Structure 1
Amino acid sequence: MSDGQTTADARIKVRKVTDIHSNWSDQGELTEGKFSFQLILDNGAEEALIMPTAEDADVLMDLFGESDEIYFDTERRVVIFNNLK
């Protein structure tokens, strides 16, 4: 990849979420677990990890399912949902 291409890729601040991997991890007996979502951006050009509370993860799952397209602002760390059904 040329230096020009690398520089152009670094300037991109909003990327399309092309895949989402979810995870829940045990934090010990009688302790709430932790949720995380790995956002694959622009078919693997970049990745982002978000770690919401259980309540926020529930809302995010609904929004993921109701959105035609999802974007992620890498600078501000904002998930953007487009064309909600």
Structure 2
Amino acid sequence: MANLPQPVTDDSLKVRQLSHYQFSWVAGEPGEPGAWTLQLVLDQGAWEEVLTIDADDADNLQDLLSTAKTVFYDVERRTLLFGTTSVGHH
């Protein structure tokens, strides 16, 4: 049996499954560009993360998130992981 540090808490979980997401746009000061945010709801609401992203990233992430069957988020590394694909599949 693995020797896990005790107690195991929500904060000790490093990778969580994305349940829902929401893009938002926040206006900048007059004459300045706005900012995109991406709110991630993880493990059915057990954890949330808000990322500030640029317009190109928002567009690319929307494409990926709308087609991926399973997405995970590494909380420590702040990295979205778009499921797994078997070798030889596209």
Instruction: Give the alignment's TM-score, normalised by structure 2.
Output: 0.79
Q: Which residue of the partner structure matches residue 73 of structure 1?
A: 74
State yes or no: 1:34 paired with 2:35. yes
Flag the structure with higher strand content: 1
CA RMSD of aligned residues (A): 2.0
State the 1:83 CA deviation: 5.2
Matches within 5 A, 1:51-62: 51-62=52-63
- Counterparts of 1:43 and 1:61 in 2: how far apart (Å)? 20
What is the one-letter code of the residue matched to 2:77?
Answer: R
Q: Which runs of 5+ in 1 are unaligned?
A: none
Q: Which has the higher helix share?
A: 1
Which structure has the larger Rg?
Answer: 2
Whole-Å Cα distance in 1 between the matches of residues 84 and 14 of structure 2? 20
Number of residue pairs the alignment of both structures matches: 81
* 8 Å CA contact 1:34, 1:51 repeated in 2: yes
- C-alpha displacement of 1:22: 1.4
